[in-house]
Chain A
Amino acid sequence: MIELTFPLSDAAVRDLKVGDPVSLYGTMVTGRDAAHKWLIDTFIKKTRTPQGDDAQAIEALTPLLKGGAIYHCGPVVAGLDTKQYRFVAAGPTTSIREEPYQADVLQHFGIKAVIGKGGMAARTLAACQSVPAVYLHAIGGAATLIAQTVTRVVGVHKLDFGVPEALWVIEVKAFPAVVTMDSHGHSLHAEVEAQSRAALDRLLKA
């Protein structure tokens, strides 16, 4: 088990290989569909002018994302009325929906780790090589356990996107994951796909 604490250095990222089990510590930011679209439209492609608290939010988020991690997760959060936020259930959501955005977001903000489930495709894998960054696969369905690794909810941005879609800044301790896309161009998803394809062909020949 390799312990990783955010922010990550380039050297730490380059040391990781597909199949490595890791345990995560430090600060990460949650973001899924609405967050990725917001980052792209407002700050990267700039097809939308910043409005409301956008400028303030990006100023707070930019230093956290540099060398940091984005977690594809729509959490269930308690304490919404008192703002004493607590994560109740926080398993990963399917990452491939962010494939059109992820590479640009990694490059623009210098994000070093994407956390989610199901893996991502060629553009993200290429970005992992150049940034460098890694894709970390969390355990799908392990919602209660992952929520308990969240030791503190530091804050939240763009809560107007709704609780699952907002960008939550959290601190974690011993968050379990596995490297499934590394910065050397390897994807465990592609490898397992190819191996199981060969096994399938064998079984269908019989």
Chain B
Amino acid sequence: MRDLTNDILELIRRTSTDLPPDVEQALGAARQRETQGSAARGALDTILENVTLARRDSSPICQDTGTPIFIVRYPAGWSTRALRAQIREAIAQATKKAYLRPNAVDSLSGKNSGNNLGDDTFPTIHFEEVEGKTLTIDLLLKGGGSENVCAQYSLPHTGLGAGRDLEGVRRVVLDAVHQAQGQGCAPGVLGIAIGGDRGSSYMASKEALLRPLDDVNPDRALADLEARILRETNELGIGPMGFGGKTTVLGVKACGLHRLPASFFVSVSYMCWACRRRRMIADGDAVRYSDRSDP
């Protein structure tokens, strides 16, 4: 078992400073759709230029580098205790190198730890043992402005006329995007989980954000729902930064979870345009990185 601290540091650097190509392409396409000279187009021009500068200078795309969420899939034989220690060390080093901003605040004392290390939930690390010999680590940097506009609904929802079916899901998601307006740094990406308990539902909605924007959900009904919500949220006209415009949402990724007969939760995780995610793959001694973190 080798020490991966330096490789994880590089994973963090890439995630924070280099926006995945699928997101950049979607922003570029959105720019083309907005009218020349409009505020929406100007916002996307600025965003795209910022993405280029951040990559060139290896500096954070956004100063809010968010909550680091790691999903580690490890083959038998790895120690999760050692991996956790390496991830935490890499986070502290990345903060010192200014790839990350110190973001871990003690909720009781109000003190910022200064090195991005808090308790066991900061950074967030999920471990799952897998078959085979390959270890993969996915990283998502989830910013605060967009986290503040995430929403969870308990269906049925009378006010929105939302029952316990996919039509109900569509209705509450449209409401969530309307409520968010531009506050989550639109255009955003939506991760939607249907079912689960409140905790597992939110977590699954975040994991859905790891899917590349151009993939297609293998479940036909969910694929149709994603396409419809994408089309309809963009009909809301909120636009980049809430300036009004044609693109409010860049992508929609939905999944279903088993639930209790009594509960039907729908969780909507809103990810800002700075949709920062990366995968690291370790095979024996060889480590490589991927722009795509497909399931």
Which A residues have a C-beta under 8 Å from some C-beta of B? 1, 19-21, 74-76, 88-91, 94, 117-119, 137, 139-146, 148, 176, 178, 180, 188-189, 191-193, 195-197, 199-200, 203-204
Contacts and interface: CB of A to CB of B under 8 A. Distances in A.
Contacts of B175: 200
Contacts of B258: none
B254 interface: no
A43 to B, nearest CB: 26
Contacts of B43: 139, 178
Given A142-B46, A192-B242, A91 B178 contact: no
A117 B241 contact: yes
Contacts of A90: 63
Given A142-B49, A144-B54, A196-B238, 9 more contacts: A89-B60, A90-B63, A139-B47, A140-B182, A142-B46, A188-B242, A192-B244, A195-B244, A200-B236
Contact of A141 (B50, B160, B237, B239): B50
B105 interface: no
Given A139-B50, A141-B273, A199-B236, A94 B183 contact: yes
Contacts of A20: 39
A17 B239 CA distance: 18
B174 A203 contact: yes
Interface in B223-265: 232, 235-239, 241-244
B269 interface: no
B248 to A, nearest CB: 8
B145 interface: yes
A5 to B, nearest CB: 19
B237 A142 contact: no
B50 A144 contact: yes
Given A145-B53, A192-B243, A204 B237 contact: no
Contact of B98 (A19, A76, A139, A180): A76
A195 B237 contact: yes
B46 A180 contact: no
Contact of B243 (A176, A178, A193): A178
A38 to B, nearest CB: 18
B46 A199 contact: no
B284 interface: no
Contacts of B273: 141
B112 to A, nearest CB: 9
B37 A21 contact: yes
Chain B CB within 10 Å, residue with most, of A75, A76, A89, A146 = A89
Contacts of B54: 144
Give the top 4 A-B pairs by smallest Cβ distance, nearest first: A89-B63, A145-B50, A140-B185, A142-B50
Given A176-B46, A178-B42, A196-B238, A141 B243 contact: no
A141 B174 contact: no
B37 to A, nearest CB: 7
A117 B38 CA distance: 18
B83 interface: no
Chain B CB within 10 Å, residue with most, of A139, A189, A191, A195 = A139
A181 B236 CA distance: 21
